[in-house]
Amino acid sequence: MQPAYCIVMTTVSDAEVGKRIIDALLAGRLAACVQVLPITSYYTWKGAVSTDAENLLLIKTRAALYAQVEACIKAQHSYDVPEIVQVPITAGSAAYLGWIDDVTLES
């Protein structure tokens, strides 16, 4: 059985791009909550190792909405290949998961 809820992670280069994604997700009822954390990313891109300050978005939503969340992120994102990763929520408080149900689109 697939978990009903998930966290979708994506990174953005600046607050403006992050806010654009967050606004679209919340306005579309595709996310219940988005947390933003400042991070430093180390990665290989086009054959070179790079380091950048980024913001990590942790998007709480229903697993059934993942495809719509991914499409929304891609439409608003500035990266050629944005990180978009789904992490299943296998357990959580009933009240919190119920709140996700209340504020997101029905699947």
User: Which domain does 80 fall in, by range?
Assistant: 5-103
| CATH number of the domain bearing residue 19 | 3.30.70.120
Work out the number of other CB atoms within 10 angstroms of the CB of residue 4. Answer: 16
- Copy the structure tokens of residue 82: 């944005």
CB 11 within 8 A of CB 5: no
Cα–Cα distance for residue pair 77/80, rounded to 1 Å: 8
Report in angstroms the alpha-carbon separations of 63 from 17, 40, 53, 91, 105: 23, 28, 29, 13, 11
pTM for the model stands at 0.95
- Structurally, how many domains does the chain consist of? 1
3-state secondary structure of 86: strand
At 86-101, the pLDDT tens digits run: 999 999 999 999 999 9
Q: What is the pLDDT of residues 6-63, one digit of tens each?
A: 999 999 999 999 999 999 999 999 999 999 999 999 999 999 999 999 999 999 999 9
Instruction: Residue 36: name the closest of 25, 20, 22, 49 by CA.
Output: 22
Taking residue 25's Cβ as centre, other Cβ atoms within 10 Å add up to: 25
